[in-house]
């Protein structure tokens, strides 16, 4: 039992920590597991956690925002589609399931460089079990400099929409970007610590949007920003990478399909 206004990340993290008693690695380590076999129970813990995460994440959404009962998983659906099913959003054409399948797979691959992955690796290096390691990574992800990026991008796009009463023209958007830069502000969703080209994950989301929500005002603003911002940043001269990252597009897709609770985005 947690306070009704608990942050979704706190709820998500607490549920994962509550599962720690199920750790196969910890039980076997306590019995004298040989070092060369550490990976076997760790893998079992990982597979078990991956299997349960969709139900946990969807449960957090249902309890925190919908105040409704939990939705049972559907054994006929794949991992990402089942998550969408358990969220309980209206999905008559199945596009939310398609989006979640794409969204979750795109965000699964994180080597060791970002804060959450590095934190998890550091904790794991002490032979803490996977539940503790994942929990620590989630605590890092909850920080605004890491896990809030797509929320900030979406907020910016919605501010643009509200300012112009819809999707602005290319010229209007270009002037707005210049005004932000001259006032010392950044353009959310542009730049990447490693990539020096458009983020392939951004491209995948844009392809999805063009296929399914081409006429959506919010998505149209994202498209126009992609047309405008790189050139503006190149002329501005201070950005090492003027290209969009994954967060520039992901929030607009979630918003279109009714997932409008910003504080939940980090759980995804």
pLDDT for the residue numbered 11: 96
Q: Is the pLDDT of residue 144 over 80?
A: no
For residue range 85-113, what is the model confidence (pLDDT) as tens digits?
999 999 999 999 999 999 999 988 766 57
Average pLDDT, the chain: 93
Q: Hey, which residues are catalytic here?
A: 146, 192, 247
Q: How confident is the model at residue 32 (pLDDT cuts 50, 70, 90)?
A: very high
Query: For the chain, how many structural domains are there in total?
Result: 2
Cα–Cα distance, 241 to 190 (Å, whole number): 8
pLDDT for the residue numbered 110: 65
Region 54-70: mean pLDDT is: 94
Measured in whole angstroms, the distance separating CA 252 from the mean position of its chain's CA atoms is: 12
Q: Looking at the structure, do residues 137 and 222 belong to the same domain, yes or no?
A: no
> Does the residue 228 lie in any domain?
yes
- Residue 68, exposed/middle/buried by CB under 10 A (0-12, 13-18, 19+)? exposed
pLDDT for the residue numbered 150: 87
Residue 49, domain extent: 8-70+110-141
Cα–Cα distance, 162 to 150 (Å, whole number): 18
**Which CATH number goes with the domain that contains 223?**
1.10.230.10
Q: How confident is the model at residue 40 (pLDDT cuts 50, 70, 90)?
A: very high
Measured in whole angstroms, the distance separating CA 114 from the mean position of its chain's CA atoms is: 14
Terminal Cα distance for the chain, rounded: 22
Cα–Cα distance, 69 to 103 (Å, whole number): 25
Q: How confident is the model at residue 147 (pLDDT cuts 50, 70, 90)?
A: confident
Tokens representing 66? 């919908």
pLDDT for the residue numbered 57: 97
Q: Looking at the structure, do residues 29 and 121 belong to the same domain, yes or no?
A: yes
Percent helix, strand, coil in the chain, to 5, is 65, 0, 35
Compute the half-sphere exposure of residue 88: CA atoms within 13 Å on the CB side of its CA. 16
pLDDT for the residue numbered 77: 95
Contact 257, 96 (CB under 8 A): yes
Region 200-205: mean pLDDT is: 94
pLDDT for the residue numbered 112: 58
Cα–Cα distance, 43 to 264 (Å, whole number): 28
Q: Looking at the structure, do residues 36 and 14 belong to the same domain, yes or no?
A: yes
């Amino acid at each position: 039992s947690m306070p009704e206004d608990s942050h979704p990340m706190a709820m998500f993290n607490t549920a994962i920590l509550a599962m720690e008693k199920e750790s196969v690695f910890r039980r076997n380590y306590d019995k004298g597991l040989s070092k060369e076999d550490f990976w076997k129970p760790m893998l079992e813990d990982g597979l078990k956690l991956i299997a349960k995460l969709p139900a946990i994440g969807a449960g957090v959404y249902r309890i925190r925002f919908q105040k409704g009962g939990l939705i049972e998983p559907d054994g006929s659906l794949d991992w990402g589609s089942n998550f969408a099913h358990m969220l309980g959003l209206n999905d008559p054409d199945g596009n939310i399931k398609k989006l979640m399948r794409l969204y979750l797979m795109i965000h699964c691959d994180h080597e060791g460089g970002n804060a959450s992955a590095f934190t998890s690796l550091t904790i794991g290096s002490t032979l803490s079990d996977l539940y503790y390691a994942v929990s620590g990574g989630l605590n890092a992800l909850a920080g605004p400099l890491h896990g809030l990026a797509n929320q900030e991008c979406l907020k910016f796009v919605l501010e643009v929409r509200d300012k112009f009463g819809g999707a602005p023209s290319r010229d209007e958007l270009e002037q707005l970007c210049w005004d932000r830069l001259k006032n010392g502000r950044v353009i959310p969703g542009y730049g990447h610590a490693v990539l020096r080209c458009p983020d392939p994950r951004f491209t995948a989301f844009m392809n999805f949007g063009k296929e399914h929500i081409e006429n959506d005002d919010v998505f149209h603003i994202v498209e126009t920003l992609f047309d405008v911002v790189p050139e503006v940043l190149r002329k501005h001269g201070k950005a090492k990478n003027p290209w969009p990252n994954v967060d520039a597009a992901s929030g607009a897709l979630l918003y279109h399909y009714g997932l409008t609770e910003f504080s939940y985005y980090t759980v995804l």
